[in-house]
Amino acid sequence: MGGMRIIIAGGHGKIALRLAARLGSGAVGLVRNPAHVADVEATGAEAVVCDLERASVEEVTRIVEGADAVVFAAGAGPGSGAPRKDTVDRGASVLLAEAAERAGVRRFVQISSMGAGRPPAPGRDEVWAAYIKAKTEAEDDLRARDLAWTVLRPGRLTDEPGTGLVRLAPEVPPGAVPRDDVAAVIVALLENPATAGRTLELVSGDTPIIDLVASDE
């Protein structure tokens, strides 16, 4: 990935920091809180303060211009209520995708969630339902755009060390996956433009990440 400039929205998130560490100096983490700049820079990446809940599309377009790819890794996060699922998990993704289109940056990897694309199971709490609805709407918005998009839907995220072994396909059984491995898969997707136009679910498995993208199974 040498020499590539990759914009990562939600730059202080757990997956984003792992991704920035893998990408190094070409990565640009967008953070809302100036206090988070140092954590992003500690990975070797650049940090830009930009609040995607408040920024204008012109402002974000200027940040994205000249990049090779954009990764949407933002989320309202645990403890946030239903309204912020909409403004972050949907709204910020739509804003970033719009800015990427305007800036002519075609490659866009969106981190969604397993369960997106179908109605949440009855009985789940309203915040989970709002999260799935926001992710689904963000995916739908992205698919309608003239971008080389890939939607990645990881299963339940853990902080276990990565194994480098996953199961990645349009549909996989529910399961967990370390954030380390999610970051490694995103790098692999960025390295393989042939994965554009695909929605892929991701859990731990037995296929080495390196083989998976090479074979584009």
131 tagged catalytic: yes
Catalytic residue among 72, 108, 131, 149: 131
Structure tokens at 163: 């194994």
User: What are the residues whose beta carbons fall under 8 Å from the beta carbon of 194, sequence distance 6 or more?
Assistant: 216
DSSP 3-state of 155: coil
| Separation of alpha carbons 94 and 17, rounded Å | 22
Angle separating helix axes 93-103 and 57-64, nearest 10 degrees? 60
Structure tokens at 207: 């296929």
Query: What letters, b where the CB count within 10 A reaches 16 and e where it falls short, cover 142-164?
Result: beeeebbbbbbbbbebeeeebbe
Residues 213, 202: Cα–Cα separation, whole Å: 13
Contacts of 160 (CB under 8 A, 6+ apart): 178, 180
Residues designated catalytic? 131
